[in-house]
Amino acid sequence: MGQHVDRFAEPAAKARRAMVRGIVAGGGLTDPAWRAAFEEVPRHLFVPYYFTGRFTGGTGGYERLWCEDPDPVKRDRWLRGAYRDEPLATRLRDGELFSSSSQPSLMALMLDALEVTDGDTALEIGAGTGYNAALLCHRLGDAAVTTVDLDPEITESARSHLATAGRHPTVITGDGARGCPERAPFDCVIATCTLPSIPPEWPAQCNHQGRIVAPLSTGIIVLRVRHDAEGRSAEGRFLRTSAFFVPLRGGAQPREGRAGGLPRRAIENDLFRFLLSLTAGSLDPREALSLWEREHRPERNRFGVTLSGDRQWAWLDDPEGPYVWPLAQTDG
């Protein structure tokens, strides 16, 4: 097969540099290795089409922008949109978002939180478009990266996008909640889909001091894996930022805390809704509100998660309490 010729290469490079400058101006990409990855990996090759929330034709719905549109104005909109610091809806089913390309600045934050070093191996849960895997490949090398997704259409598409960009990590169709035992152990695991709890297979497939970065509730949890006499455990805190991802397919769905009857100031507060989701099934909404106000509306980074044996719990400030809540187990 001939080498792919990218007719958008020059304008894409210019747009990519502008995207990176924006992320850096916002405090991201402080690691030169990750900055180089974002400067050099062409995001547009991973989103040959995507959907915007525009209403068209008077009937409502999404507008599809794609690289082969015969209208040059729409092609230009597609390319410029590919390099905005925004998430892109890449797959819809029955009008609902099924898969997306995450916001680049959030991807940069999560990749930085992995604290990778040369020689590390990485497992990605949720292949998406393949763009995040390509960034990992740029940093660690293709052979060090494994990406898993339950949907064969997504893995096939991601594999194709990666090949077009000249990258060839291991792409596996399978249940991400089970990790990838045949490629373990890993130095880090990164998930690009949200979950109600951390699958125990992930720390079990990590080396000692391995890192896990994953969306949980509406936040990003960063865990450090430990090997001890009782097996493998993990513990860590949430990043300060909010995050909203497509749920993990094949596992338990994230719980949503009910907020009926609560004051509007609480219901509409992102931090309170994070607490409500994290404690769903453990605290009723009024108990959650009382805690939130008593603890001065805590930011996400005051919360954490601990896994030990078959137990898994979230906590505020201290894993030993007094504020701890069991997390729902992820179905395997």
Catalytic residue annotation: 102
Strands 231-238 and 96-101: unpaired
**Distance separating alpha carbons of residues 253 and 66, to the nearest angstrom:** 31
Q: Give the chain's end-to-end CA distance (angstroms, integer).
A: 40
To 5 degrees, how large is the angle CA 107–CA 224–CA 244?
Answer: 35
**Distance separating alpha carbons of residues 38 and 164, to the nearest angstrom:** 17
Q: In a 3-state reduction of DSSP, which class is residue 190?
A: strand
Strands 206-216 and 186-191: parallel
State CA 115 to chain mean position distance.
16
User: Is the separation of the CB atoms in 176 and 150 below 8 Å?
Assistant: yes
Q: In terms of C-beta density within 10 A (0-12 exposed, 13-18 middle, 19 or more buried), how is residue 317 classed?
A: middle
**Distance separating alpha carbons of residues 131 and 121, to the nearest angstrom:** 17
User: Is the separation of the CB atoms in 187 and 116 below 8 Å?
Assistant: yes
DSSP structure string for 121-159 = -EEEE--TTSHHHHHHHHHH-GGGEEEEES-HHHHHHHH
**Distance separating alpha carbons of residues 189 and 272, to the nearest angstrom:** 28
